[in-house]
Amino acid sequence: MGKLALSNGPSAVSKTVSSVRFPVSRSQPVVSRRETSLAADKLFGRYKPEPTHKVREQEVVGNRQEAIRRTREMLRSMTAEQLLQVIEFHPNLDFFEALAFAKREGKLIVPNDIHDKILTEIEDIKLLERLYGSWKWTGTLVIYEEPEKKFGKKVTFTFTSENEVYFISFKIPKQFRGKRNCALVMDHPDFEILEISKKPSMWSRIFDRNKLKRNNEYEVKPVEDATIHLIENFPKRDDWYNPHPETKIPQGEPVEKSEKARHSLRLGWSYVGLLLRGCDEFYFDGRRKGIDLYLQPSRYFGAAFVSLGFSVSDCPAGQFSNFLLKAKNGPQIESSICRSRTLSSSRSSPETQNPQLKTNE
């Protein structure tokens, strides 16, 4: 297992401006830029330079990173019962909507290792079924290639939804290129998704009619100081495996089914997407230990969130026991214990579904 902290600075965008010559009137003197600059220096030279103050953007970013770190530490120090007091479960969200909602509300999408603790330590199956429904998107992003294929410069996951072809890519950092049978893992919000689709020009529409149109193209990028986990000996096929100690991602050689083992489902080709966890009859007696690493991002599974900088004191004492009682007898639960929220999930175009989605112009 390797772990790398990346620092990505802002990318420089250059634009080429064509020069245009205008006729100069002979009645007006031509003043060079240098003369204009010197004149301005003389005019303002007698004034003392104003002190400059750096924008507090770096401080704000630092505060956010500290809040993320504290939130993760708090989550990992809590029991499964305590976790259910601060986590919100929301239904009918796809990959894009989950990221947009988390960004808009200032929340963290609960990572796989936290879901793993809840699913394996809570004994009440009916409660888990009502919380998770069938599956929930986690905040853990996984990138892998087809078995035996080395990491190149980029991994692209292609899928079809409602007769539209989509592409989600991830540029492999140089340190990981050439590695075989590995996976890269990041937890939200250490990554963001950018839309890089471009409208085809008139000429391309005329001459490239038979070519595949890449109008639904997205790129996942790590944010500044993101932590990327390298999962070596990533499973080549569906089976039971021992989990990675930090991320709980299956790794190594297949093992016998046990309390410690996790069942992995993957594609036979490249994948870039969020990991799914759930509790249903698909896995029979091992249904809480299934780790889904292959479903397309357009599926509406829902997700679980937690507020950055939350506190256990946000929930009144005794509310968890009341929640358990309702969970056993009431309808399926799709909200948190402490607060409830109803989200409408439209089935329109990606633009209307994801108003917070960044566009890489």
Residue-by-residue pLDDT tens, the chain, 361 positions: 555 554 444 433 333 333 333 343 434 444 444 443 444 444 434 444 545 444 444 454 568 888 899 999 999 999 999 999 999 999 999 999 999 999 999 999 999 999 999 999 998 888 988 888 778 999 999 999 999 999 999 999 999 988 889 999 999 999 999 999 999 999 999 999 999 866 656 665 566 555 555 578 999 999 998 999 999 999 999 999 999 999 999 999 999 999 899 999 999 999 999 999 998 765 545 578 999 999 999 999 999 999 987 765 555 444 544 444 444 444 444 443 333 333 333 333 333 333 333 334 3
Looking at residue 134, its pLDDT comes to 72
- CA distance linking residue 90 with residue 98, whole number of Å: 9
pTM: 0.70
- The answer to the question of residue 40 being in a domain is no
- CA distance linking residue 204 with residue 88, whole number of Å: 46
Residue with tokens 């108003």: 355
- Give the count of beta carbons closer than 10 Å to the beta carbon of residue 44: 9
- CA distance linking residue 81 with residue 85, whole number of Å: 7
Amino acid at 43: L
- The answer to the question of residue 126 being in a domain is yes
- CA distance linking residue 177 with residue 5, whole number of Å: 16
Looking at residue 181, its pLDDT comes to 97
Q: Is 309 helix (H, G, I), strand (E, B) or coil?
A: coil
Domain tally, the chain: 1
- The answer to the question of residue 22 being in a domain is no
Task: Give, for 118, the enclosing helix (H) or strand (E).
Answer: helix 112-121
Q: Which domain holds residue 284?
A: 62-359
- The answer to the question of residue 325 being in a domain is yes
Looking at residue 310, its pLDDT comes to 72
Looking at residue 47, its pLDDT comes to 43
Q: Is 46 exposed, middle or buried (0-12, 13-18, 19+ CB in 10 A)?
A: exposed
DSSP 8-class letter at 312: G
Distances (CA, A) of 227 to 7, 224, 292, 311, 358: 10, 9, 22, 24, 21
Looking at residue 109, its pLDDT comes to 97
- The answer to the question of residue 18 being in a domain is no
- The answer to the question of residue 133 being in a domain is yes
- The answer to the question of residue 26 being in a domain is no
- The answer to the question of residue 139 being in a domain is yes
Residue with tokens 């709980």: 248
Amino acid at 52: T
Residue with tokens 């256990």: 312
- Checking DSSP bridges between strand 107-109 and strand 217-222, what pairing results, if any? unpaired
Looking at residue 138, its pLDDT comes to 97
